[in-house]
Amino acid sequence: MERQVKVLHLREKVSSLAALLLETNHGGFPVIYQLEQAHEEVFIGSITRLELCRILENEMLFETQNEGTYKQHAELNYNEISVKFLNSTKINLLLNKYRTDNQYKDYYVNLKPYINQSAMTVHAHFSLQRTYIIFRTLGLRHLTVVDLRNHVLGIITRKDLMAFRLEEKLLQSENLESYNDRR
């Protein structure tokens, strides 16, 4: 079963973010950006679920479609965005309100001040052993997988690198290869 990677853009609809957070339990999301209309969307950083929840708790950060520029006066500082405790009941009620109330369908959030623009990535054919070492050494929670043109292909989590998951994936890969060889 292949999961599709959930990516975010620098400017996202409040209602879309709320739906995403309610419908997934992902801990982090790659953020992509399209420099110019004719160019492709490329990975520019990542943002965590906690950070997205903190942003959505602050309606002062919401902007309309017409507001093309970032509101300089409305920004959360590091301490406000990184507080670890979330009231899950309160945030779920808020997310449901944003997802269902038509008022929020026209509001956007600029994620640029909050993304980790120095987020680690690995290329699609990067060594599994080295990926594991990077996770262990840096204490990462997730790592974005990109191709040579910096397009997001996937995301690796700690759970993916647990021993039993690795063995399962390697066996699936070996079975697929032997099946293809027989064809």
pLDDT, tens digit, for every residue of 50-74?
Answer: 999 999 998 999 998 765 555 555 6
CATH number, domain of 128, equals 3.90.1280.20
Q: Are residue 112 and residue 40 in the same domain, yes or no?
A: yes
Q: Please give the residue range of the domain that contains residue 74.
A: 1-119
Q: For residue 39, what pLDDT band results from cuts at 50, 70 and 90?
A: confident
Tens of pLDDT, residues 100-139: 999 899 999 999 999 999 999 999 999 888 888 898 899 9
Domain count, the chain: 2
> 101 and 153 share a domain?
no
* Helix locations, the chain, DSSP H: 14-23, 49-56, 78-82, 88-100, 128-138, 163-182
The Cα 119–Cα 127 span in angstroms is 18
Distance, CA of 34 to CA of 20 (rounded, Å): 21
If one compares 3 and 113, the residue with the highest pLDDT of the two is 113
To the nearest whole percent, how much of the chain has pLDDT over 70? 78
Q: Same domain, yes or no, for 36 and 68? A: yes
Boundary (domain end) residue, out of 96, 119, 142: 119
